[in-house]
Structure 1
Amino acid sequence: MALQPLATVADCEARGLAVTDGEASLLETYLASATAAVRDAAGVPISQTTSTVTLEGRTSVWLRLPAPPVTAVSTVLLDGETVTDYRLRTTDLWRRAGWQAVCGEPSEVEVTYTHGMPTVPADIVDLVCRIAAQTLVAYRSSADGEGLAAGAVTQERIGDYSVSYDSDGAITELELSDRLRRRLRSRLGGGAGVVRSR
């Protein structure tokens, strides 16, 4: 199941963006792209979903689950065998016998669990709306949509006005700064682990 965008056209309109009927589907596309950029930067889906992850099991009694917050665990397989003698503690699974089935060899632990936020935080909705709105403004800046290809200003002079653009295509409204990426990962707990949503 594909995750829903982190913001909607109605969210953008509630923040003051005027959207014509002809632009609504275009804005939905920009919201989907902005959502993907924010989720990638955060390293987690953000909104609540059910996922299956495969992690390396070791002798430790603790097993950290990626993409917090974790709200429920439905199945745990240790080297393909179902285990039920675990407890969920915040973002970790605790098991008295540890997470290694065979002494000396790492095990494979497959966990299906529900995680993420039931309601997307307002500031994340706002961020996605702002990115999508900036993309829409870039689109509106030229009748044929050429504004989407505009590069970043690299030089500007005021006397006898002059401006230079970097048009290598490397800068877009969807590229998030390293500072924002670090902030999102720190706040939302993104980290290592392969998460596939169902």
Structure 2
Amino acid sequence: MAALASPADVEARLGRPFTPVEEARIDALLEDASAIIRAYTGQSFERVDDDVVVLRAVGGRLTLPQRPVIEVTRVEAVGGGEGLPDFALTDWTFDGIDTIRLGDGAVIINLPEAWWDEDGYPGTYRVTYSHGWEQVPGDVLAVVCAMATRALANPNNLRSETVGSYSVTYAVPTTGDQLGLNLTRYERSTLDRYRNKAATVKVVR
């Protein structure tokens, strides 16, 4: 996946051109910062059409992991082997946000008998949906740029350094914040609204 910010975005916030050393590092820093943010939020922040994900239902509901959801086009029950076929469902509804409510299967003609057995179908579903932003949200872009700028300004990840009578402090340890390509407490709070508070289980086949 592409970085969530460009070198030009960081340069604009620095207010000056990159030095040769900074220019050599910026692409890798942006990729690393983007990976950290994606791991923390669980979101890709990219527009993806016809993405396919396999989820386990909880209470007759499927919670889609990527947001914002643009469209849900297909929901299939996964057979799970032993001769049980996959089949497309028609009795499901999407709440327009992130949740699919499943029907009881009563409207499906010739539904396999195993569907009605307690230990029949495994309860996993394959969903095809489109999601994501056309542009990276502004607050996410700001966090990526802040992380990259911090790493450029303090490449050795120092708290402070002293040369003769001159001393500089890069952060105050008591704040609980981290330097470099770590998310600060403030940055985590900024990103928290993108995290899934509850979700169904994504199944790796």
Query: TM-score, normalised on structure 1?
Result: 0.70
1:150-184 deviations in Å (ceiling 9; x for gaps): 4435x99xx99799xx9xxxx55122145643542
Contact 2:147/2:183 (8 A) holds in 1:
no
**Structure 2 Cα separation of the partners of residues 113 and 11 of structure 1:** 31
Gaps of 5+ in 1: 140-146
Query: In the alignment, which residue of structure 2 is the partner of 1:86?
Result: 92
Contact 1:7/1:129 (8 A) holds in 2:
yes
Q: Based on CA coordinates, which of the two structures has the bigger radius of gyration?
A: 2
Contact 1:75/1:113 (8 A) holds in 2:
yes
Q: Which secondary structure does the structure 2 equivalent of 1:31 belong to?
A: helix
**Would the alpha carbon gap of residues 162 and 88 (structure 1) be closer, same or farther in structure 2, given more than 3 Å must change?**
closer
1:6-63 deviations in Å (ceiling 9; x for gaps): 1001111222253145633420110111111111121211232253322112552x32
**Which of these residues, 9, 12, 34, is aligned with residue 14 of structure 1?**
12
**Structure 2 Cα separation of the partners of residues 133 and 56 of structure 1:** 41
**Would the alpha carbon gap of residues 127 and 178 (structure 1) be closer, same or farther in structure 2, given more than 3 Å must change?**
closer
What is the alpha-carbon root mean square deviation over aligned residues? 3.5
Q: How many residue pairs were aligned? A: 174
Counterparts of 1:46-195 in structure 2, within 5 Å, are 46-50=45-49, 51-58=51-58, 60=60, 62-79=61-78, 80-89=86-95, 90-97=97-104, 101-105=115-119, 106-139=122-155, 147=156, 150-153=157-160, 172-177=179-184, 180-181=187-188, 183-185=190-192, 187-191=193-197, 192=199, 193-194=201-202
**Structure 1 Cα separation of the partners of residues 115 and 158 of structure 2:** 55
The one-letter amino acid of 2:67's match is: P
Counterparts of 1:5-44 in structure 2, within 5 Å, are 5-15=3-13, 16-20=15-19, 23-44=22-43
**Structure 2 Cα separation of the partners of residues 67 and 132 of structure 1:** 25
Identity across matched positions, percent: 27
**Structure 1 Cα separation of the partners of residues 166 and 135 of structure 2:** 51
Shift of 1:107: 0.6
Shift of 1:114: 1.7
Query: In the alignment, which residue of structure 2 is the partner of 1:142?
Result: none
Q: Which secondary structure does the structure 1 equivalent of 2:151 belong to?
A: helix
**Structure 2 Cα separation of the partners of residues 161 and 182 of structure 1:** 31
**Structure 1 Cα separation of the partners of residues 168 and 38 of structure 2:** 38
1:66-96 deviations in Å (ceiling 9; x for gaps): 1221112243221232224323222111333
